Amino acid sequence: MKKVVVTREVFDETIECLEEYFVVDANQRDEKLSRELIFDKIADADGIQTASNDRVDEEFLAAARNVSIIANTAVGYNNIDLEACSKRNVIVTNTPGVLDQSVADFAIGLMIAACRRMGEAERYLRSGNWRSVYLKQMLGIDVHGATLGLVGFGRIGQEIAKRARGFSMRTLYHSRNQVDANIERQLGAEFVNKDDLLRQADVVMLILPYSPATHHFIGEAELSLMKERAVLVNVARGGIVDDSALIRALKDRRIYAAGLDVFEGEPAINPEFLDLENVVLSPHIASGSESTRKAMAMTAANNLVEVLAHGRPPLNWVNRE
C-alpha cells in the first residue's frame, strides 16, 4: 500500500477517505512538528497533504525521496516551490472552487466591519463605557453606493463582485487579464488600470495570488494614491501589502480604515496593528466555514486518490505545464 502523510489536522472523514486507499500518517492532534520530524515522516511517503503554512522547498523535496504528489489544502500555493517540484516531476495540486463563496462572504463582512467600525464598536461596548445613544456616535461610512475596486478578478473576485451588486456598489477591477465582456456586463464590473482603481475606489479589496511579482503590490506609493476616506481589505495573502506602510497610513489617517485577514510573516503580526482602532483583524479565516474547510480537505484528499490510487491525472493540477 502506498503511504500518505497529512501534515496538519484535517477532518476525521478526510482521514477515513484516505485510509480506504493508503497507509496514512496523520497529525490529528495537530502537534507542532519540527522540520526534522516532518522530514523523517515524509522520507518514504508517496503523497503528502500539506497546509498553506508548510514550506515545500528544495530541502523538503530532498527529504521526500519517493513523493510524486503534494496536495495543498488551500487554493493558494505560494508556500510551494513549483519549479523545484516540476524539476522532480512532483505533481502539485490545490483546492480551487470550493472556497470561492465563503471567502467572498467574508471579504464583504470585513469591508462592512471596517467601514462601519464594528470591531471598534464591540471593543467600546465590552469596555463598559457605553452611556447613551446619540446622533454622532461612532459615525462610519456607507458601503451601499460606494465604489469597490477589486484587485484580482478570478473566481473569488467575481463572487465578490456579485455580492457588491446587492449593495448597489459600482465595481472596478484590475487584474493581469481583462475578462470577457459578457462577464463584465453580467457582474457590472469595469476594467481599469491600477492607479485609476486606487484613485477612484472607496474600498480597495485585494484578492490576487501572492508571488514575487505581487510582493508589496500595495505600499507607500499606492496608499498615497488612495482616497482619504478609502478602506483597504486584504483577503489574499500577507506580503501583498507592505504592513509597515499601511500602519503609517492608518495612524496618520491618510486612509480611513482597513480590514485584514492576512499578514506579512503570519501568524506573527506587526504589534502596531493591535493599537489601532481603525483596523479590523482576523486570523486568516476567510475560507473558514465548517463546510468549506471540509470541502477543501476532501478536495486535497481526492487529488491524492486520483493520482496515487487510480493512476489518473489530479483534479486540480497546478504545475501541469
Catalytic residues: 237, 266, 284
Closest CA to 297 of 74, 90, 97: 74
**252-278 burial by CB neighbour count: b if 16+ within 10 A, else e?**
eebbbbbbbbbbbebeebeeebeebeb
> Which of the ranges 33-41, 60-68, 73-81, 105-113 carries the binding residues for ligand GLV, by CB under 6 A?
73-81
- Give the contacts of 184 (CB within 8 A, at least 6 positions apart): 178, 190, 191
CB of 62 to ligand GLV, least distance (A): 25
If the CB atoms of residues 52 and 214 are measured against ligand GLV, the closer one turns out to be 52
**52 is a contact residue toward ligand GLV (CB under 6 A):** yes
Number of H helices, E strands in the chain: 12, 12
Total residues at interface with ligand GLV (CB under 6 A): 6
Strand ranges for the chain from DSSP E: 3-6, 23-25, 47-50, 69-72, 91-93, 147-151, 170-174, 189-191, 203-206, 231-234, 257-260, 279-281
CB of 111 to ligand GLV, least distance (A): 18
> Which of the ranges 71-79, 104-112, 264-272, 304-312 carries the binding residues for ligand GLV, by CB under 6 A?
71-79
- Contact, 312 vs 86, CB < 8 A? no
Among 64, 85, 98, 99, binds ligand GLV (CB under 6 A): 99
If the CB atoms of residues 75 and 208 are measured against ligand GLV, the closer one turns out to be 75
If the CB atoms of residues 49 and 52 are measured against ligand GLV, the closer one turns out to be 52
- C-alpha dist (Å) from residue 176 to 9, 154, 192, 193, 220: 35, 10, 11, 10, 22
Q: How far apart are CA 125 and CA 309, in angstroms?
A: 55
Closest CA to 255 of 233, 274, 239: 233
CB of 63 to ligand GLV, least distance (A): 24
If the CB atoms of residues 91 and 156 are measured against ligand GLV, the closer one turns out to be 156
CB of 74 to ligand GLV, least distance (A): 3
Cell 474600498 -> residue: 203
**79 is a contact residue toward ligand GLV (CB under 6 A):** no
CB of 158 to ligand GLV, least distance (A): 16
First to last CA, the chain: 29
CB of 300 to ligand GLV, least distance (A): 10
Among 75, 92, 207, 305, binds ligand GLV (CB under 6 A): 75
**76 is a contact residue toward ligand GLV (CB under 6 A):** yes
If the CB atoms of residues 171 and 299 are measured against ligand GLV, the closer one turns out to be 299
- C-alpha dist (Å) from residue 10 to 13, 15, 164, 192: 8, 7, 33, 40
If the CB atoms of residues 46 and 100 are measured against ligand GLV, the closer one turns out to be 100
Site string for ligand GLV, 254-293 (x = CB under 6 A): ---------------------------------x------
**7 is a contact residue toward ligand GLV (CB under 6 A):** no
**110 is a contact residue toward ligand GLV (CB under 6 A):** no
Q: How far apart are CA 125 and CA 70, in angstroms?
A: 46
Q: Which residues bind ligand GLV (CB under 6 A)?
A: 52, 74-76, 99, 287
